[in-house]
Structure 1
Amino acid sequence: MGVLPFNDLLQAHGYNTLQSVDGADTVELARKHHPDLVVMDIQLPKVSGLDRTKELKADADLKDIPVLAVTAFALDGGIERILDAGCEDAIGKPISVPLFLETVEKHLL
């Protein structure tokens, strides 16, 4: 599941979304719109989702925005690296839609 299906899934369930197709403008979008949650695909086409998460968490104005990582690397220490980068939670691919939506909602309460 790439970036667009997550966006479409969230919109279909009533969430307002913004998206960065390749992750290059993630921090800029967060500064401009200050979202309630960032869903970060760890395997972005041009940049590392972990690096983008670290940039978000290093910014005093953005550090409190929860980051939910979506990754194919849920095993072999992947989750530990994701949490160490500053993500509040992680979901492995392929995702379970109900679990994904439940996790999103958990971080928006």
Structure 2
Amino acid sequence: MDIRESLLDIILTIVLVISTLVLVFRLWQDVTIAVAATLMMLALGGLFLSFGAKISILDNTLIVRERSMRLNLEETSLMMSEKYETTVAQIDAIIQDFSRRMYR
């Protein structure tokens, strides 16, 4: 995932951590609570960034699979068209052969 694509997520994570620090600013007497709350918000922000990256990877994978399915479908269509043309040509040859035999 490109940094430019996830810039908004990173900024929102920083805002989340800063707002947590502001909220626990009065609790600095109890450093354990302040550190725990800050780490919790960092983990939550990291989780959001991780989800964004995984969704981006899934999106790219889906695009690649769709493209390959489209190519396979086109190849199958061309192959079936060729078989159809071959079969029609054979049937025409057989009909012409029968027509020649009937006129003799």
TM-score using structure 1 length:
0.22
Q: Greater CA radius of gyration, 1 or 2?
A: 2
TM-score using structure 2 length:
0.23
